[in-house]
Amino acid sequence: MPASYSSADDVLHVLASLRQHERDGKRSPHKPLLVLLALSRLAETGSSRIPWALAKTRLADLIADFGPPSRTGRAQSAAYPFTRLRSDGVWTLDTDVPMDRVTPLHGGVTGQLESSLERALKDQPDLISTVARSLVDAHFPSTVAPDVLLAVGMDPEAVEAEAALDPAPAPERRRSSTWPAAVLEAWDRQCAFCGFDGQAGGVPVGVEAAHIRWFKLDGPDTLDNGLALCSLHHKLFDRGMLGLDDDMGVVVSQRFSARTPFGRFVYDLHGRRLKPRPGTPEPAAEHVRWHQEQVFHGSPLVST
Ligand SMILES: [Zn+2]
């Protein structure tokens, strides 16, 4: 049964333990997304209450946009964390309903953060930002984390500034300090998808080292798990709008849409093959498969 959470350490500890649900490299951000939505409601309205009528649209949208690709129906995908977060001792429902079932929720069930947890968060407003940052940092790459915060109704810069006042939880793995430069070098300091090679005073600008399998989901800092990508294509790759097929061709998702010529330029990437320079390893098939299964959304623009 729910313990009582009074100190900042208690709150951080119990919410950070939601990380444990990510096993075998399979992404499962459903519960963290619900907690983030509840934190945003708490900051905005003074209460974390979320009626199912709201969760079945807002939470379902968040899961569809930021979760792994899924064939589960939208309401069902929201019902899972809405009912199951109770077993973590941090969430309560005002009606005792069975796990995972959608129909009983339609009777007007409302969820809320466990009361001592909610009180601890209200007593220390900076703690909301600290927990929010800890959750997005644990489950999403830095290209996606600000988008998630914006989508739940928080200001990413404010979260960053307020959370900075508290010590950040120690990272579980250390990133290699030399990997980003090695990846840029291996790909001639240009985007592997579009070829963008901008420099500012001789230094690459807007070209970044991207993990294919996310570092936070056990992706290694190796050259066969890295691509140099421009900032835009890095974000689209991490958001699952761009991907790779088994032949190292770029794939554009049908979910991506743009109207202006610059935006529509992304469509032209579909089918382009990666051309690493001699000596640079192609992305490893296992990392590409992970991205296909855990990140890439929807169907390819043109089926091959
Ligand atoms: Zn690019």
Cβ proximity of 216 and 141 under 8 Å: yes
What's the angle, vertex CA 149, arms to CA 146 and CA 153, rounded to 5? 140
CA 280–ligand 1 middle distance (angstroms): 18
Q: What is the pLDDT along the chain (304 residues), one digit of tens a residue?
A: 446 787 878 888 888 777 655 667 889 899 999 999 999 999 999 999 999 999 999 999 999 999 999 989 999 999 999 999 999 999 999 999 999 999 999 999 999 999 999 999 999 888 999 999 989 998 999 999 999 999 999 999 999 998 876 655 666 788 899 999 999 999 999 999 999 999 999 999 999 999 999 998 999 999 999 999 999 999 999 999 999 999 999 999 999 999 999 999 999 999 999 999 999 999 999 999 999 999 999 899 986 5
Residue 1: the pLDDT is: 43
Q: What is the pLDDT of residue 120?
A: 92
Give the start-to-end residue ranges of the domains of the chain: 8-163, 179-294
* Ligand 1 centre distance from Cα of residue 304 (Å): 22
What is the model's pLDDT at position 6?
76
Tell me the pTM.
0.92
How far apart are the CA of 207 and the centre of ligand 1, in A? 8
What's the pLDDT at 20?
55
pLDDT score, position 165: 66
Report CA(239)–ligand 1 centroid distance (Å): 14
Distance of CA 185 from the midpoint of ligand 1 (Å): 16
Q: How many whole angstroms from 123 Cα to the centroid of ligand 1?
A: 45
Q: What is the model's pLDDT at position 81?
A: 97
Q: How far is the CA of 176 from the centre of ligand 1 (A)?
A: 24
- Among 94, 101, 161, smallest CA distance to 133 is for 161
The confidence score (pLDDT) of residue 302 equals 82
> Would you state the pLDDT for residue 34?
97
Q: How far is the CA of 99 from the centre of ligand 1 (A)?
A: 44
Report how far ligand 1's centroid is from the alpha carbon of 196 (Å): 5
Dihedral pair phi/psi, residue 207, rounded to 5°: -120, 125
